[in-house]
Amino acid sequence: MVLAVALGGAAGAVCRYLLESLWRAGILIANTLGCLLLGLMIGIAAVATPWDAGVSALVSVGFIGALSTFSAVSLRAAQHWLAGERTVAAGLWLVHTGAGLGAGILGIAAALLLI
């Protein structure tokens, strides 16, 4: 199980690194994609045969956990807050939270419609 999480985590971390390197909004893309993928997993698990524990750990805890990053959003928001850019800091939280929630709901809905 630990090896599955490690393998998924390595892949997710590399994907996040590439997204952050290629686009200014890389963290937003990574977090939103992570929520969408987890929503898909939850939606599929709700109506299909339960996931194998190893596959679930590899994908959810490993890959999605390493892909998405709460700490990077927190750091950027704190930097803006400390620089007196309170509106930007609040905007970061609102955009990331809204996009994540919307993507998670979309993922669940898509899985339920497709299965």
**Annotated binding residues:** 65, 68
What is residue 45's predicted lDDT score, i.e. its pLDDT? Answer: 85
- Mean pLDDT, the chain, integer: 93
pLDDT for the residue 35: 96
- Report the percent of the chain where pLDDT is more than 70: 100
pLDDT digits (tens, 9 = 90+) for 79-94: 999 999 999 999 999 9
Q: Cα separation of 71 and 1, whole Å? A: 25
Local confidence band at 10 (pLDDT 50, 70, 90 cut-offs): very high
Query: Which pLDDT score, from 0 to 100, does residue 1 have?
Result: 87
Q: How far apart are CA 20 and CA 69, in angstroms?
A: 11
pTM: 0.88
Query: Which residues belong to the annotated binding site for Na(+)?
Result: 65, 68
Q: pLDDT of 25-61, one tens digit each?
A: 999 999 999 999 999 998 988 888 777 888 888 888 9
Helix ranges (H only) for 1-115 are 2-22, 26-47, 53-56, 65-67, 70-82, 86-114
